[in-house]
Amino acid sequence: MATPPTVTGEEFRFEVGFKDTVEIRLKSGKAEYFGAELAPEAKYAFSGDNGAIFSWQGCTLSVQGQCQSAYVAGETPMDSYINVHMALQQLRVQAHNGDLSVAPRVMLVGPEDSGKTSLARLLVNYAVRMGERPLFVDLDPSLGSVTVPGTVSATAMGKTVDPESGFMGCATSSSDGVSDVPLVLQFGHEQPDDNTMLFKILVDRLAASIDARMSADNFAAGSGLVVDTRGFTDVNKYDTIEHAVAALRITALLVVGNERMYSIFSTRLQTQARPVTVLRLTKSGGTVDRNATYRRQLNDCIIRQYFNGTAKEPLASFPAVVNFQDVTILRVGEDVRAPSSTLPLGEIRKLTETTVFTVEPDEALSHSVLAVTDAQPPVDGEDDSDGVVGVQALGFVNVTKVDMEKKRFTMSSPVPGRLPKKVLVYGHIKWMETL
């Protein structure tokens, strides 16, 4: 970019391709990336990303590298976003003063690419900057902001979200003493409606863990939570949101950029046991529509970041060979057994969305991303899914090669040494490392 962008009450918006890297520095003034303050002169490198740097007071930036598009936009919804933040902050103050019932529990809904995650990030960052410790709850399994796609999670936010590594950076740095290791549950699919029953159970499990955490920590309870969801417009998907609103005891639903959804939720949520404020917010003109190919590439980047880190903070990934007999691989909610026609006459097959199956390893396991858990495998003949469904994912491994002859597979893991736990939970998320 020839002239360095200067920004005052405006946004510098940029798009960077997956093969390019753009470095941005704050040369003067103050600026923020979705609510997180930029350090003066620090280098922020973006690749395969779209974003916006906003300044209330004015700033000058230096931009090096090739952006697919870059411009300064004067029209932004930041005034309405800061108003929402201030209203939430007032409630937090009231909650810290003793009335925990008003602690804000906010959920963002809206169509795909309407800017929910960016707004969630901004609200979390503004809260953290006020000394709050909100929980960020990620109910969008499509892009896995905290670990890998195919998961749902809850993270206690002790610091602002790093502009480069995003929410994943918060998940890996608990050394600040206030962030905890996030609670991550393996869903195994990218869309909640790929297995609605399982999704709802996972939301219930998250809600129960959040309640336990909040009842032990009044300050965190007063800071409340910010919940991001998968983008949708289909009326059939409202039910999953309503379930989450009830389970997480949401107090405010922010509908981003969709009049119809706002109107429907305003009516439907009146029947909730607790009152829910429904607000409509304008979609930012900066949000970028991401097609299926882009999302696939983005997913690859997210998984690569989990296993290999970022250019600034690379992580080693460790190979290991695992004998089939040394692990149990489970799968929730899908029948991988023989077809009904081959079952003995009279055997009734119980198929539910949460039935647990043992997976016999074969070539199909190649490139799978498996959750490492301390799940209790069901005892033969019993359908005990309780010990498996909704157990915490302690980490993830990637199967790189399956050797059927030697009955073993090779995997890579972000942690060296042998698998700490022997029960792996399978999902539909695949990743192939490319150099």
Ligand X SMILES: Nc1ncnc2c1ncn2[C@@H]1O[C@H](COP(=O)(O)OP(=O)(O)OP(=O)(O)O)[C@@H](O)[C@H]1O
- Interface with ligand X by CB under 6 A: which residues? 11, 13, 50-52, 110, 112-118, 140, 142-143, 230-231, 284, 286-288
Q: For ligand X, which residue has the nearest CB?
A: 286
- Cβ closer to ligand X: 95 or 170? 170
What token pair was written down for 216?
Answer: 């032990």
CB of 190 to ligand X, least distance (A): 10
- Cβ closer to ligand X: 117 or 355? 117
3-state secondary structure (DSSP) of residue 195: coil
- Cβ closer to ligand X: 76 or 373? 76
Do residues 122 and 81 lie in contact, with contact meaning Cβ atoms separated by under 8 Å?
Answer: yes
Do residues 215 and 177 lie in contact, with contact meaning Cβ atoms separated by under 8 Å?
Answer: no
CA-to-CA separations, 341 to 20, 337, 344, 350, in angstroms, rounded: 53, 11, 8, 14
Rounded CA gap, 330 and 422, in Å? Answer: 11
Q: Strands, E, within 209-355: which ranges?
A: 225-229, 252-256, 277-281, 318-323, 328-332
What token pair was written down for 56?
Answer: 């209330």
CB of 131 to ligand X, least distance (A): 25
Number of H helices, E strands in the chain: 8, 23
Measured at the CA of 420, the angle between CA 320 and CA 398, to 5 degrees, comes to 45
3-state secondary structure (DSSP) of residue 13: strand
- Cβ closer to ligand X: 305 or 400? 305
- Cβ closer to ligand X: 229 or 355? 229
Query: Are β-strands 22-29 and 43-46 bridged in parallel, bridged antiparallel, or unpaired?
Result: antiparallel
CB of 389 to ligand X, least distance (A): 25
- Cβ closer to ligand X: 287 or 392? 287
CB atoms within 10 A of CB 428: 16
Closest among 368, 364, 384 to 376, alpha carbons compared: 384
- Cβ closer to ligand X: 118 or 155? 118
CB of 302 to ligand X, least distance (A): 12
CB of 53 to ligand X, least distance (A): 9
Query: Are β-strands 6-7 and 43-46 bridged in parallel, bridged antiparallel, or unpaired?
Result: unpaired
CB of 11 to ligand X, least distance (A): 6
CB of 74 to ligand X, least distance (A): 12
